[in-house]
């Protein structure tokens, strides 16, 4: 069983529409793929239909933008939640709205120094999709300012950049509680990915675990080895689910579907704990 529990479509910052992503998963030899777009479940229906067609099982999911009191960014994966749960919907709507005004402010700052306007950015955004820095990166690539998204993130779009603007995001413990309330299972995404920015301290893990955290994403290319060992011992102590995944973004990132996998018994634990929706096969 080849199970990859973290992938993005163009409903957020991946480059393939949900059906194409599922086709790519089948081609990559996956038996199970999770669709985890940032702060939206709008791709679930299209991905479900494609999953049936391609004989791949789809785990409907989402990646929720969070930020701690100290200002550290946390990504929380949610699996098999009820997409209509009002409390969870309210939080992701706030995050999506905040992402939009934040992107507008970043583009306004960028346009002072680069030939770039808002239309250049929204051209790279599917209708209704969650906007993020990758879409601004696409506009910088199209304008010939950088070669690809990776270069954009290494230079103009880093969190240390003068063009960087923060956006509202839920407290991670609150997001964990909302996922549980919506019948879902939460998994802390790439928790020790230091290259992406500051990572949380043990007190944040404790708060999230006390709030009902389901698991931790251990096998992810951005987690360094010593961090993986820490996560495995934390998971053993608190009986957390452990997952592995690619964080595929289509052509937007080098990450390849199936480059990390989740064990079937770990997916079984997710399914046992979830009551908000089901795996579509
Ligand atoms: P944002 O959430 O708008 O601050 O942008 C962060 C998102 O950009 C993450 O969710 C990643 O998917 C994506 N990202 C981060 N680093 C890179 C990179 N080097 N190349 C492409 N995409 C990236
Ligand atoms: Fe992303
Ligand atoms: Fe993430
Ligand atoms: Zn992701």
User: What pLDDT does 158 receive?
Assistant: 96
Residue 196 has pLDDT above 90, yes or no: no
Assign 209 a pLDDT band (cuts: 50, 70, 90): very high
User: What pLDDT does 259 receive?
Assistant: 98
**Percent of the chain whose predicted confidence (pLDDT) is above 90:** 99
- Using a CB cutoff of 5 Å, list residues around ligand 3, an ion: 75, 189
Where in the chain are the domains?
3-93+169-273, 96-154
Nearest CA to ligand 1 atom 20: 150
Q: Is 250 in the pocket of ligand 1 (CB under 6 A)?
A: no
Ligand 1 atom with the shortest distance to the CA of 99: 3
CA 14 to ligand 1 centroid distance, Å: 10
Determine the average pLDDT of the residues in 48-72: 98
Burial pattern 20-50, b for ≥16 Cβ within 10 A else e, equals bbbbbbbebebbbbbbbbbbbbbbbebbbeb
Assign 131 a pLDDT band (cuts: 50, 70, 90): very high
Determine the average pLDDT of the residues in 60-88: 98
CA 239 to ligand 1 centroid distance, Å: 30
CA 78 to ligand 2 centroid distance, Å: 14
Domain over 3-93+169-273 is classified CATH 3.40.1170.60: no
> 201, 110 in Cβ contact below 8 A?
no
Determine the average pLDDT of the residues in 97-106: 98
Which CATH number is 96-154's, of 1.10.3720.10, 3.40.50.720, 1.10.150.650, 3.30.230.10?
Answer: 1.10.150.650
> 241, 266 in Cβ contact below 8 A?
yes
In total, the chain counts a number of residues equal to 281
CA 222 to ligand 3 centroid distance, Å: 10
- Using a CB cutoff of 5 Å, list residues around ligand 4, an ion: 63, 247
Query: Does the reported pTM lie above 0.85?
Result: yes
Q: Is 150 in the pocket of ligand 1 (CB under 6 A)?
A: yes
Rg of the chain taking only CA atoms, in angstroms: 18
Assign 252 a pLDDT band (cuts: 50, 70, 90): very high
Q: Is 133 in the pocket of ligand 1 (CB under 6 A)?
A: yes
Ligand nearest to the CA of 251: 1
CA 196 to ligand 3 centroid distance, Å: 9
């Amino acid at each position: 069983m080849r199970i990859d529990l973290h992938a993005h479509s163009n409903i957020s910052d991946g480059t393939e529409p949900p059906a194409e992503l599922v086709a790519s998963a089948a081609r990559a030899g996956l038996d199970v793929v999770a669709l985890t777009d940032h702060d939206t479940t709008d791709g679930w229906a299209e991905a479900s239909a494609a999953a049936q067609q391609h004989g791949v099982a789809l785990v409907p999911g989402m990646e929720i933008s969070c930020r701690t009191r100290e200002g550290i960014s946390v990504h929380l994966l949610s699996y098999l939640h009820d997409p209509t749960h009002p409390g969870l919907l309210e939080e992701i709507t706030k995050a999506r709205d905040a992402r939009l005004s934040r992107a507008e402010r970043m583009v306004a700052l960028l346009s002072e120094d680069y030939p770039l306007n808002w239309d250049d950015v929204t051209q790279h955004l599917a209708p209704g999709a969650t906007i993020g820095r990758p879409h601004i990166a696409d506009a910088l690539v199209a304008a010939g300012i950088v070669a690809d998204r990776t270069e954009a993130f290494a230079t103009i779009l880093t969190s240390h950049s003068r063009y960087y603007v923060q956006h509202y995001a839920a407290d991670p413990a609150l997001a964990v509680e909302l996922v549980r309330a919506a019948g879902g299972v939460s998994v802390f995404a790439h928790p020790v990915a230091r290259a992406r920015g500051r990572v949380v301290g043990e007190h944040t893990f404790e708060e999230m675990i006390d709030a009902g955290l389901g698991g931790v994403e251990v096998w992810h290319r951005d987690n360094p080895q010593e961090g993986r060992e820490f996560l495995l011992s934390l998971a053993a102590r608190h009986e957390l689910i452990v997952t592995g995944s690619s964080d595929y973004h289509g052509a937007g990132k080098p990450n390849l579907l199936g480059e990390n996998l989740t064990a079937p018994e770990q997916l079984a634990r997710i399914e046992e704990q979830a009551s908000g929706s089901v795996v579509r096969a």
